[in-house]
Amino acid sequence: MAAVSSVSFSALGQCCSERKVFKSSTRSLASNFEGYRFRTRLLCYCVRGRASNSTPRAVIQCMSASTDVPTVAETKMNFLKAYKRPIPGIYNTVLQELIVQQHLMRYKRTYRYDPVFALGFVTVYDQLMEGYPSEEDRDAIFQAYIKALNEDPEKYRADGQKLEEWARAQTSNSLLEFAAREGEVEGKLKDIAERAGSKESFSYSRFIAIGLFRLLELANASEPTILEKLCAALNVSKRSVDRDLDVYRNLLTKLVQAKELLKEYVDREKKKREERVQSQKADEAIKKCVGEYQNAGL
């Protein structure tokens, strides 16, 4: 766990922000660099278990028996209807894969929204979309994404912010004492612990693991034993959390590498365009001089 604790979300975010990625046709670049392959591993990251183990039967078991449950295609279509502008390739690919996997989480029989899940997803989304060309579009995509899953994007943001503010005011000890205290966030954590302990209306996912790590980071609770104690207090498997945080850390590293390579590509293309423009201007100047020369009868 020490390896995970050493990774700071803010540090990774700063690293990503220094590598702004502008619009480019990146889908055709998939075979040109190794870092881009992180997107295929996102399938394994988003839901518990390996993507290769997913079978039609497993999917059916995950879904509610209700006939009102939408299909994956309907969820994706709802997203595309809500946000109609083109999305640069590297972001679009990740978002399309991510929404498919979150659809399966969302409509599991045991799924129930909780703030730690929301904090985890918001953290993932903000990290993945760091450096997006337009902040306004990034927010619009978030709105369309959550609404496509028939959930409330404002609630995701509000609950995530409340947990972050609460965590900043905590210490390693007070973070673990939520069960003995009263308060809005404490009550939500107690609810998670109760549901996870009874195995009813609780569905563990990697978003929960990331949400817990975010709480620890904001509370400056870097001691290796704190995460173990917090998992125990919430009745969540520490082994699963450790595994999922390692996966997430690796994905963020690959994301940074992919964006860096994309930036290099965009810079090269920009330089080529500038050289072509200068060449065209030189050609036009020569043609103009020749024309004037001919018109003068010289």
Instruction: Give the pLDDT of residue 297.
Output: 61
Q: How far out from the chain centre does Cα 72 lie? A: 19
Is residue 276, in this structure, part of any structural domain at all? Answer: no
Task: Provide block-wise average pLDDT over 10 residues at a time, the chain (298 residues).
Answer: 41 40 37 38 40 40 58 96 90 88 91 93 92 90 97 97 95 91 92 87 88 93 89 92 87 75 74 79 70 64
Instruction: Give the pLDDT of residue 52.
Output: 38
Is residue 49, in this structure, part of any structural domain at all? Answer: no
Is residue 277, in this structure, part of any structural domain at all? Answer: no
Instruction: Give the pLDDT of residue 56.
Output: 42
- DSSP conformation class of 290: H
What is the span of the domain harbouring residue 97? 72-255
Supply 261's token pair. Answer: 């390579």
Distance CA 148, CA 85 (A): 16
3-class SS of residue 63:
strand
Instruction: Give the pLDDT of residue 223.
Output: 86
Is residue 176, in this structure, part of any structural domain at all? Answer: yes
Rg (CA), the chain: 24
Residue 115 makes CB contacts below 8 A (sequence gap 6+) with 159, 160, 162, 163, 185, 188, 211
Supply 288's token pair. Answer: 């103009």
**Count of the separate structural domains present in the chain:** 1
Is residue 184, in this structure, part of any structural domain at all? Answer: yes
3-class SS of residue 115:
helix
Instruction: Give the pLDDT of residue 2.
Output: 40
Is residue 122, in this structure, part of any structural domain at all? Answer: yes
Instruction: Give the pLDDT of residue 264.
Output: 77
Amino acid letter for position 228: E
Is residue 19, in this structure, part of any structural domain at all? Answer: no
Is residue 270, in this structure, part of any structural domain at all? Answer: no
Please calculate the CA angle 91-103-9 and round it to the nearest 5 degrees.
Answer: 50
